[in-house]
Every structure is written in structure tokens, then in C-alpha cells.
Amino acid sequence: MRASFSLPITATFSGAIAIIAFMFGASAPVRAQTYDPDYPVCAQIYGRSSYYDCRYASLEQCRSLAVTRSTSCVVNPYFAPKKEAAPRRSRRVD
């Protein structure tokens, strides 16, 4: 004779929902950052898989390298220019 037991239907249903939610959460794709905030100009490259290549210091540099490809050069909206530290003032007491 086999031993059998039964769980309440709410426990079985909530367990199944938890497992399904975990599976979808664990398998969600990770999005990479589209723009590199270190460079002011990005090349938007078109093709089978379109992407942004952010490694240009100026629009002219991007345009000169983008001549042979199907590319648009755009200003990086997430570029964060490095702020120079303000010069320190010495505190002299006269």
C-alpha cells in the first residue's frame, strides 16, 4: 500500500505560483547600459543588431570613422564631464 497525503489546494497553488515567479525572475535578461557616460559622442550603428558605440571625443571623430558603415553620430545624453577640483585657498592668519 502506498502512503499518500494531500495538501490543501491553497498551499499547492501558492507554491506553484512562487516557483513560476522565481523561474521568470531568475531568467529575466539583464540590460546593459546603452550609453557610456565617459564619452560625449556615440555612434548609433544600424544592422541586424543595432547598438550604440560610445567611445568618441567629438562629432567629427565619430563621423570620420562612421563613413563606411550605416551609422549616425549622436551626442551622449548621459555624458558626465569631469569637474575640476576648485583650487584650495590657504588660510593665512595675519
pLDDT in tens, 49-70: 888 999 999 999 999 988 888 9
Q: What is the pLDDT of residue 63?
A: 93
Q: Using alpha carbons, select from 83, 62, 84, 81 the residue that is nearest to residue 73.
A: 62
Give the mean pLDDT of the chain. 76
Distance separating alpha carbons of residues 44 and 72, to the nearest angstrom: 5
Residue 21: other Cβ atoms inside 10 A: 10
Mean pLDDT of 26-50: 77
Bridge partners (DSSP) of residue 74 are: 42
pLDDT of residue 8: 60
Least confident of 41-45, 62-66, 79-83, 87-91: 87-91
